[in-house]
Amino acid sequence: MFHSITPDEEQDMLKTIGVSSFEDLLVEVPRNIRVKGLLDLPPPQSELELRRRLKILANQNINADNTVCFLGAGAYDHSIPAIIPALASRSEFTTAYTPYQAERSQGLLQTIYEFQSMICGLTGHEVANASLYDGASALAEAALTAMRITKREQIVVSGTIHPHYRGVLKTYLTSVGKIIEIPHANGVTNLKGVKDAINGNTAAVMLQSPNFYGCLEELSAGIQIAHDHKSLAVVSIDPIALGLLKPPSEFGANITIGEGQGLGNPLSYGGPYVGFFATRKEYVRQIPGRLVGRTIDTQGRRGFCLTLQTREQHIRRDRATSNICTNQALIALRSTIYLAVMGKHGLRAVAEQCLKKAHYTYQQLCNIPGVAPAFPHSFFKEFVVKLPCSPATVNQELLHAGIIGGLDLGSYDPALTNHMLISVTEKRTRDEIDRLVDTIARHIKSA
């Protein structure tokens, strides 16, 4: 039976660490933010009672398991093959720590190496690092990488990049660089604005395709503008889209980054996720984080080791590229298993289903009187429609019908009031899509 420590035990502990009371440990904590008195907790409960209580609390949440989700904007409700949690939850992976000792960490090192290899195969680049925290931090690290390579300070950023990503970028570059943000032009990058903004101090032009609004960008034109000024081109992508689309590297992108959540990872209330970062071999010394390499030991056996670690913890601070610490190995492992299980043909099949179902949804919604297309551009699995009423009220109606609706873009851009961003993945069925359309149509008619 567990019990709290006795007063005598507490005094012995305090004496050992050299203080006379527990209050002495809190001298650095302002009194006005300390809890006064005891916490308002329910009386002690048995394990059975506690589990029941926690389940009741958990069931108050709305999630993608008990509703139909059409919400995307960077986090997507994709199908997760059962083999992924079965393998990733093995104790060898869930308890693994940073692989400093290669001789004891061959399994973990191999999974990271396979992740890097698959990201290279997906993006068409020569090297990929051992992952980053998420897509947003990957974008920021790409900006810093470009600044180191070019010895320039200015970053030209398309306004069609996810606003959260742009927010993280601004935080990273607060005291080390200058950001010029180009407002979008009808849902895509304003290339004329990019041409006007770029100059001899521009380290990189940053694009996203499919972009935040779901539209496909003219990557070749945007990348060429960057190269004409000897700047790097950084492109953020949806890895699922690469089942159908050419990777940005084929258009000349210097760095390709993105979010790996859709590759076998659940929504999880926004994280933890995994960012990927791929680039050319010539830039390998400037990439953030770690790189795992494959080698041969003295007995001719295949082995894996940390080949490159550019953190200040490992090398002199003035030579470090980033203080990025823990690579998201467990989340990257899930993405690795996903790509291995799906393969080239499976990933293409998923991408085709997303494309076809999204376009079917788009056509059905645009047939509703009062609903109009927002942007006249090609899209993959997300699109924007303009509604004749508030998206917030539409989403409330959808929620009553067991559907999580799209994103209200008016909260991000006042010019897009009454615009909704809708995501359709391979999980959505014809019946679920028709329910979405019917519910929106009824609400508009009655409004």
Condensed to tens digits (0 to 9), the pLDDT of residues 180-191 reads: 999 999 999 999
Per-residue pLDDT, averaged over 73-82, amounts to 97
Residue with the bigger pLDDT between 199 and 321: it is 199
Quote the tokens at residue 421.
């961003």
Residue with the bigger pLDDT between 3 and 14: it is 14
Q: How many CA atoms lie within 13 A of 434 on its CB side?
A: 3
Of 278, 274, 268, 237, nearest to 133 (Cα)? Answer: 274
What is the distance between the alpha carbons of residues 397 and 447, in angstroms, rounded to a whole number? 11
Per-residue pLDDT, averaged over 387-398, amounts to 97
Q: What element of type H or E holds 325?
A: none
Quote the tokens at residue 414.
């006042």
pTM of structure: 0.89
Say what the pLDDT of residue 326 is.
61
Say what the pLDDT of residue 301 is.
92
What are the residues whose beta carbons fall under 8 Å from the beta carbon of 204, sequence distance 6 or more? Answer: 142, 143, 146, 147, 150, 155, 156, 226, 231, 232, 233, 234, 254, 255
Buried b (16+ CB within 10 A) or exposed e, 336-362: bbbbeebeeeebeebbebbbebbbbbb
Condensed to tens digits (0 to 9), the pLDDT of residues 300-312 reads: 999 999 888 776 5
| Residue 342 identity (one-letter amino acid) | M
Condensed to tens digits (0 to 9), the pLDDT of residues 332-354 reads: 999 999 999 999 999 999 999 99
Helix, strand, coil percentages for the chain (3-state, nearest 5)? 45, 15, 40
Residue 145 contacts residue 286 (beta carbons within 8 Å): yes
Per-residue pLDDT, averaged over 74-78, amounts to 97
Kindly provide the residue ranges of all beta strands, DSSP E only, lying in 353-436, ordered along the sequence. Answer: 372-373, 382-386, 403-404, 407-408, 419-423
Question: May I ask the CATH class of domain 83-339?
Answer: alpha beta
What is the distance between the alpha carbons of residues 398 and 437, in angstroms, rounded to a whole number? 10
Per-residue pLDDT, averaged over 403-411, amounts to 97
Condensed to tens digits (0 to 9), the pLDDT of residues 147-177 reads: 999 999 999 999 999 999 999 999 999 999 9
Residue 1 confidence (pLDDT) above 50 = no
Q: Which CATH architecture describes the domain 68-79+344-446? A: Alpha-Beta Complex (3.90)
Say what the pLDDT of residue 325 is.
62
Condensed to tens digits (0 to 9), the pLDDT of residues 127-147 reads: 999 999 999 999 999 999 999
**Ranges of each domain in the chain:** 68-79+344-446, 83-339
